[in-house]
Amino acid sequence: MTIDMSQFFQVFFDETEELLAEMEKLLLAIDVSAPDEEELNAIFRAAHSIKGGAGTFGLTDLTDVTHVLESLLDKIRKGEMALSAEHVDAFLVAKDVLKMQLDGHRLQTPVDQEAVVDARMLLQSLSQGDMPQAMPAASLDVAPKVEAPAPVPIAGSARRFRIELPKVTDRDVEALMAELGLLGQISKEALADGRTAFTLDCTGDSEEIVAICSFILDPKDLQITEQAPARQMTAAEAKAAQEEAQGYGFFDPIEPTAEQSAAEKAAKEAAQGYGFFDNFETHEMKETKAAGLAQVPAQQAPVPSAHEPSTPHPVEKKAAPKREAAGGAHNSETTSIRVGIEKVDQLINLVGELVITQAMIEQRTNTLDPMIHERLLNSVSQLTRNTRDLQEAVMSIRMIPMDYVFSRFPRMVRDLASKLGKRIEFVTHGAATELDKGLIERIVDPLTHLVRNSIDHGIEMPEVRKAAGKSETGRLSLSAGHQGGNIVIEVTDDGGGLNREKILAKAKSQGLPVSDSMPDGDVWQLIFAPGFSTAEVVTDVSGRGVGMDVVKRNITAMGGNVDIRSAKGFGTTISISLPLTLAILDGMSIKVGEEIYILPLGYVVESLQPDPADVKEITGQGRVVKVRGEYLPLIPLYKMFGIEPRFTDPSQGIVVILESDGKKAALFIDDLVGQQQVVVKNLESNYRKVAGISGATILGDGGVSLIIDVAALLRSSRQLSADESIFS
């Protein structure tokens, strides 16, 4: 029987990546002076889960690193060693190494073996940190592994288990011994009451042993205890050795026979208080179970060598931590499943259809006599409610908390700040705010750029800040929250703020139309102009990566806009406002002739019926309409789209004032129909891009209505001549 392991590999890779991200998040959040025990446990669990998974898949390089990491973590969480900033740094380095190794397995990217060895040595030397002169021991400790990593499993991240069997026949004992022997070195001893005990040195964990034994025995009758791993022992011995100044000759038997080492172990335990390794595994497992992290044992269940019928089942369980990692609720019991995004989209589509059908039924029943059809009408109104609930529930599937984005910043801020020699306190607000998955993925890059900018150019060096009377530590905050139908994401720093004069001077030198009396808001928008690097303007440090114009373009493409507030000396806030989802749009339906179009409500400022005297003709330029003292270009939709209108005189129809990119225009239409939420459908999936149209939607009657691309319409209105459709 062969099992296709590749699918499990993928799950393992995904999950390990999540665990690493989770670990990093926890490490960055931890308070070094007073670490929370629960947080330490969570970090430990993450490391342990990775080790378990990697061991299962035979990725020994990952297990090697995680094992040292785990040992050190274990000491800290048990209070044997105080957490220090060096530890956190070392853990972060280890995390990067693990990520590199993971990518090495997954994407075949090169792995820097030196970095791996360095990280391991660093961790090992730290784990003997209670004696600073431990370096020789550490190097000795590493040496045998580097020289002979492969042939004997014991050299790697060996662990020692004592397995006490219940009464079984000799034949079974022999069979078990042969099976377990595949895992590592095994030895047998007979116990007084006729039972048998094995001592096993292997790289796996007790789950594997249980899995193997369960072919012959009831796992309940089995007693497995983990004993001090051989390598830990050598470290302990090294300590003893140094203390006793007896030289290193003592180390020759690196692989002592099981009995010997057990005896030695017992002796050491008694002498040096390493007893905490006893029952290590079982104790730890109890703890994880109590914490509700069922995936830890689940991960360890599949055994490569075993013909394990239950192998597919860990996949189901493994799907669980996704949400947890995203939601940051590591303790609460969360269950989730991984589902392909196309399935969700299909569901959303179908529900959209249902809503339309429901609207149709509602429309048809409206004409019925409420007295005669009371029961039918009641049912229909119930259907309406249920459909709305269903739609809301389905739409929420695509929503992901902003934490998904925010969580990647603490590390970046930390690294960048230390590189630049700045001190920055990073805070986030509203990480639970939910946003459409499609938008979340596209907001990451612009946001990264803005955060980088704030650190690079916004927040000043500590001495500058001190001189300005501010605290030396700069404050950078990321926040997200709902405002009306939008989500607003803000990047705020308390740095130097933008320099109005420099921006204006730069704009002038680039030939942009600026004047000294421009309002601040307009001046700040200049930094979004292409080729207008904030670096050159504000600080003279050169920028990197995408420019602010790309940030602006990306956000505009998502239907959002960017706003800057800045005060010199007090900092800058860049505020991004995005629609909640791309799939649903608040629209205003309008009518021209017999055709109905949708205007995205976000662009609509107001609608009015102009006075005939306010409509003026400008030769060769079309008409303008005067609204509150402002002359706005009049865009007759019937001309743009070649429709036979009911009215050609704006004072008989309606003009809708639209605003996009700070430019206003008056769209002349026949009538307003109503306001509704519409499901945006792509026109390009089966047709092609149509100028002036951004998409389509399905109306309550099942017909199709086109959504007007207001931004394009306003852009083109400037080239509009009186009797020519610009799109033809």
∠ Cα 431 349 597 (to 5°): 95
642 vs 674, beta carbon nearer another protein: 642
The distance of closest approach from Cβ of residue 660 to another protein in the complex, given in angstroms and rounded to an integer, is 19
The distance of closest approach from Cβ of residue 677 to another protein in the complex, given in angstroms and rounded to an integer, is 16
> Which of helix, strand or coil describes residue 489?
strand
Q: What is the DSSP string of 325-389?
A: HHH---SS--------HHHHHHHHHHHHHHHHHHHHHHHHHTTS-TTTTHHHHHHHHHHHHHHHH
Q: Which residues contact 529 (CB under 8 A, 6 or more apart)?
A: 507, 510, 512, 549
* Closest of 189, 22, 214 to residue 99, by C-alpha: 22
The distance of closest approach from Cβ of residue 690 to another protein in the complex, given in angstroms and rounded to an integer, is 6
Instruction: Enumerate binding residues for another protein (CB under 8 A).
Output: 349-350, 352-353, 356, 595, 640-643, 681-693, 696, 698, 702-706, 725, 727-728
423 vs 681, beta carbon nearer another protein: 681
43 vs 596, beta carbon nearer another protein: 596
462 vs 593, beta carbon nearer another protein: 593
59 vs 351, beta carbon nearer another protein: 351
Here the tokens at position 208 are 């594997």
Give CA–CA dist 50/64, Å, rounded. 11
The distance of closest approach from Cβ of residue 701 to another protein in the complex, given in angstroms and rounded to an integer, is 9
47 vs 598, beta carbon nearer another protein: 598
Q: Are 200 and 186 in contact (CB under 8 A)?
A: yes
Here the tokens at position 643 are 């429709």
49 vs 705, beta carbon nearer another protein: 705
What's the number of CA atoms in the CB half-sphere (13 Å) around residue 241?
19
Q: Are 251 and 140 in contact (CB under 8 A)?
A: yes
Give CA–CA dist 687/700, Å, rounded. 22
The distance of closest approach from Cβ of residue 618 to another protein in the complex, given in angstroms and rounded to an integer, is 24
Which of 698-703's residues contact partners 24+ apart within 8 Å by CB, and which partners?
A: 698/352, 698/353, 698/356, 699/356, 699/589, 699/596, 700/356, 700/359, 700/360, 700/362, 700/363, 701/360, 701/363, 702/356, 702/360
The distance of closest approach from Cβ of residue 439 to another protein in the complex, given in angstroms and rounded to an integer, is 22
Question: In the sheet where 595-600 sits, what is the strand order?
Answer: 671-679, 584-592, 595-600, 704-708, 693-698
The distance of closest approach from Cβ of residue 685 to another protein in the complex, given in angstroms and rounded to an integer, is 7
257 vs 682, beta carbon nearer another protein: 682
Residue 432: alpha-carbon gap to chain centroid: 12
353 vs 415, beta carbon nearer another protein: 353
Residue type, 68: V
Residue type, 488: V
Give CA–CA dist 723/648, Å, rounded. 13
291 vs 698, beta carbon nearer another protein: 698
The distance of closest approach from Cβ of residue 715 to another protein in the complex, given in angstroms and rounded to an integer, is 16
Give CA–CA dist 722/623, Å, rounded. 8
102 vs 706, beta carbon nearer another protein: 706
What's the number of CA atoms in the CB half-sphere (13 Å) around residue 552?
17
3-state secondary structure 29-79: HCCCCCCCHHHHHHHHHHHHHHHHHHHHCCCHHHHHHHHHHHHHHHHHHCC
Give CA–CA dist 30/27, Å, rounded. 5
Q: Where are the beta strands (DSSP E) in 360-473?
A: 399-401, 424-429, 434-436
* Closest of 144, 199, 129, 156 to residue 61, by C-alpha: 156
Length of the chain: 728
> Which of helix, strand or coil describes residue 644?
coil
The distance of closest approach from Cβ of residue 578 to another protein in the complex, given in angstroms and rounded to an integer, is 25
* Closest of 461, 495, 493, 451 to residue 476, by C-alpha: 493
The distance of closest approach from Cβ of residue 557 to another protein in the complex, given in angstroms and rounded to an integer, is 17
The distance of closest approach from Cβ of residue 386 to another protein in the complex, given in angstroms and rounded to an integer, is 19
∠ Cα 138 140 141 (to 5°): 60
250 vs 687, beta carbon nearer another protein: 687
Give CA–CA dist 377/383, Å, rounded. 10
The distance of closest approach from Cβ of residue 411 to another protein in the complex, given in angstroms and rounded to an integer, is 40
350 vs 427, beta carbon nearer another protein: 350
274 vs 727, beta carbon nearer another protein: 727
- Residue 693 backbone class (left: φ over 0; alpha: ψ -120 to 50; beta: rest): beta
> Which of helix, strand or coil describes residue 511?
coil
∠ Cα 403 408 414 (to 5°): 125
375 vs 688, beta carbon nearer another protein: 688
The distance of closest approach from Cβ of residue 602 to another protein in the complex, given in angstroms and rounded to an integer, is 22
The distance of closest approach from Cβ of residue 200 to another protein in the complex, given in angstroms and rounded to an integer, is 57
The distance of closest approach from Cβ of residue 589 to another protein in the complex, given in angstroms and rounded to an integer, is 13
The distance of closest approach from Cβ of residue 714 to another protein in the complex, given in angstroms and rounded to an integer, is 16
352 vs 543, beta carbon nearer another protein: 352
